[in-house]
Amino acid sequence: MPRIVVASITALFAGEFVNSFVPAKTKLFTAGQYLWTRTVGSTLCGEGMDTLVFYPVAFLGVWNHHLLLRVMVFNYIAKVWVLATPLTYRIVAFLKRVENEDCYDRDTNLTPFSLRATR
């Protein structure tokens, strides 16, 4: 049980960091175009990181390598199979229209290890 708790917390931290980092950098790279690259890319990368961290930390040495790999691949595919890109487009368009804002993380320090407050 302690390994599963540590694996969950560590995987959540790593996966969510990647899930935030990828769309911020992709938005800059695409000059705000191609929202689908941000939504799909962040899901694929974030869930990939979550899967790559969680399963080995939780089950390496408990399950054999073949089973571990099969479970990782199956669960990754299950997590990213249904992407909510069309719904995301509608929500983002609504928020941009209502808030009259479109933010870019040009000067944002995206390191998760900084304790300094940024603007």
Q: 29-79: per-residue pLDDT in tens? A: 998 888 888 888 888 999 999 999 999 999 999 999 999 999 999 999 888
**Residue 85, pLDDT score:** 66
Domain-embedded: residue 29: yes
Backbone angles phi, psi at 80, to 5 degrees: -105, 0
Domain-embedded: residue 109: no
Count how many domains the chain has.
Answer: 1
Residues 85-114: pLDDT tens digits? 677 778 888 888 898 887 777 777 777 777
Domain-embedded: residue 7: yes
Are 53 and 110 in contact, with CB atoms under 8 Å apart? no
pTM: 0.71
Domain-embedded: residue 106: no
- Range of 38's domain? 2-99
Q: What is the dihedral of CA 102, 108, 110, 114, to 10 degrees?
A: -140
Q: Of 46, 37, 47, 50, which Cα lies nearest the Cα of 92? A: 37
Domain-embedded: residue 45: yes
Domain-embedded: residue 117: no
Domain-embedded: residue 113: no
Domain-embedded: residue 118: no
**Residue 97, pLDDT score:** 87
Compute the distance between CA of residue 74 and CA of residue 102 in angstroms, rounded to an integer. Answer: 36
